[in-house]
Structure 1
Amino acid sequence: MRISVLSLGLVAALVATAVHAQSRPYAPRMSCRAVAGLVAARGAVVISTGPTTYDRYVRDRRFCEITEVTQPAWVPTADSPQCFIGYTCKEAETEDFFPRWR
């Protein structure tokens, strides 16, 4: 009895994980406008950019951690090989705050 309850719990966790993994928007099957609109509407969203690749895209810096800055992000979509959809967050470097004057 105890083994079957444990097995049932494990199966439920695996199914939940598989369903969650499939729920990410898949940019290569969407239009550029649709993907950019999704980021703009939600503010931050994890989007798949290929069969095994994904990232978190944001509308603006408010959706990043305090130590992060934004970096422009382009992804492949159904109608564009490079669609600007918003930004990704990256750890800030000293030069992001204090640029070198040359």
Structure 2
Amino acid sequence: MRRLALGLLCLAVGPAAAQPRPDVTAMTCADAQALVARAGAIVVTTGPATYTRAVRDIGFCVVEKSTQPDYERTRDVPNCFIGYRCVDPFTEGRDGP
């Protein structure tokens, strides 16, 4: 009985199954916007091999970051504003050091 209980405990606290990222290309623009607004910050799939971390506002970025609007392709809008992305205001847009 003790061995069975230990086995069940291991199953209960074992690694969780990986959950796929939400795919904004399969969502409507309104659904993608609502997802980011509800989550606050979320990593979403934006293409076959691409993803981004979208945030509701600057409160979801680290202190030294700022935000830029994040436009992604959704099912119904090719350039949908889904929220913002956190950027480094001192290096964003530069080609290198």
TM bracket (short chain)? 0.7 to 0.9
Say whether residues 1:85 and 2:58 are aligned partners: no
1:57 alignment counterpart: 54
Cα RMSD of the aligned pairs, angstroms, is 1.7
| CA displacement 1:54-84 (0-9 Å, x = unmatched) | 0100000000000100010100000000000
* Deviation >6 Å, runs of 4+: none
Aligned-residue offset at 1:92:
2.1
Distance in 2 between residues matched to 1:29 and 1:59, nearest whole Å: 20
1:71 alignment counterpart: 68
Structure 1: gaps spanning 5 or more residues: 1-11, 95-102
- Once the two structures are aligned, what percentage of the paired residues are identical? 46
Distance in 1 between residues matched to 2:58 and 2:72, nearest whole Å: 19
1:8 alignment counterpart: none
Q: Which amino acid aligns with 1:50?
A: G
Distance in 2 between residues matched to 1:42 and 1:49, nearest whole Å: 17
The two structures have a TM-score, normalised by structure 2, of 0.74
* Larger helix share, 1 or 2: 1
How many residues align structurally? 78
The two structures have a TM-score, normalised by structure 1, of 0.70
